[in-house]
Amino acid sequence: MNNPPLVSLIIITMNHEKFIEQACLSAISQTYPHYEIILLDNASKDKTFENAERVLARFDKPYKMIRNTESFGVAKNINIAVSQASGEYVSLLSGDDWFTEDHLSEKVAYIGENQVDFILSDGYKYYQSEDKTTDIYTPKEKKQIIESLPNFFHENVSENKTANVGTFVKRELLVQHPFDENINTEDWDMNLRLTSRGYRIGFIDKKLFHYRILSTSLSRNWKVMQDSYEKVTHKYLDYIKSDRELYKKYLLKLVHFKYEILLSETDSESEKERLHKEWKKEKYRIKYKNPVLFFKLLMLK
């Protein structure tokens, strides 16, 4: 590549002292030649900043370190870091995840060869408590994502179906359309806002990241996730309601959050059993409008 575009690799981190070294090592080890690193520490109360500083000091390219004096949400932190970025493209990394060495080179090559504005990829899930690595997608899930890219907004508006680790996007888009700071699932919201405006998304069928799953991960906090889900979908509720299948998926998702929250709030096995039965009934009421069919299927279960 004669004139490789500058990429700003942004790391957002908070209280990741056990993991930030791995994230930073993956950042400074990229095979792509033309990039900068911007690390934003969100007022960590541990040694995250110091550990990151020690690793990044070995980087032979430009880097910036930002240290918040107060804690903000992820979306606001990304917006702050983007305002300090100089790259034509931005790649986002959480301080507890890490990239493969060819992460940036693969994405720069892909966006140079395809008419897209931002990119997702395949990757791995790493379960910290079990020390276990699995594929982020099943073959069926990945096939569905790739085949539905032309209709990405429609396919994802009622439920986020993609892993958004290492999102690679034109910086100008994040300047024109900054992340919504009132939403926790800021990556899903951004994907919908960009595709709803006609911006094109691409997907690289290569494993380019490791997504660390912790017992404290946001995806396990059902009340927070419900709040975020409702905030995102509220923006597109008229569109969702206009499509029978989308609306059904939306209602099922709300029921899912409702019962996951109730289950997380009880230790009683008998109560959990009762809640599972009620959950099943509500799901079938939504899925099957025909009362006779509903009760027949319920009896079979």
Q: How many angstroms separate the CA atoms of 92 and 20, rounded? A: 14
Domain boundaries, the chain: 7-218, 221-300
Q: What is the pLDDT of residue 214?
A: 85
Q: How many angstroms separate the CA atoms of 269 and 289, rounded? A: 31
Q: How many angstroms separate the CA atoms of 61 and 34, rounded? A: 8
Helix axes 186-196, 222-234, angle to 10 degrees: 10
Q: How many angstroms separate the CA atoms of 271 and 167, rounded? A: 41
Sequence-separated contacts (24+) of 283-291 with Cβ below 8 Å? 283/252, 283/255, 286/248, 286/251, 286/252, 286/255, 287/248, 287/252
Q: What is the pLDDT of residue 241?
A: 96
Q: What is the pLDDT of residue 216?
A: 61
Q: What is the pLDDT of residue 74?
A: 94
Q: Superfamily assignment of 7-218 in CATH?
A: Spore Coat Polysaccharide Biosynthesis Protein SpsA; Chain A (3.90.550.10)
Q: What is the CA radius of gyration of the chain?
A: 21
CB 186 within 8 A of CB 78: yes
DSSP per position, 40-102: EE---SSSHHHHHHHHHTT-SS-EEEEE-SS---HHHHHHHHHHT---SEEEEEETT-EE-TT
Q: How many angstroms separate the CA atoms of 181 and 159, rounded? A: 20
Three-state DSSP at 142 gives: helix
pLDDT beneath 50: ranges in the chain: 218-219, 294, 301
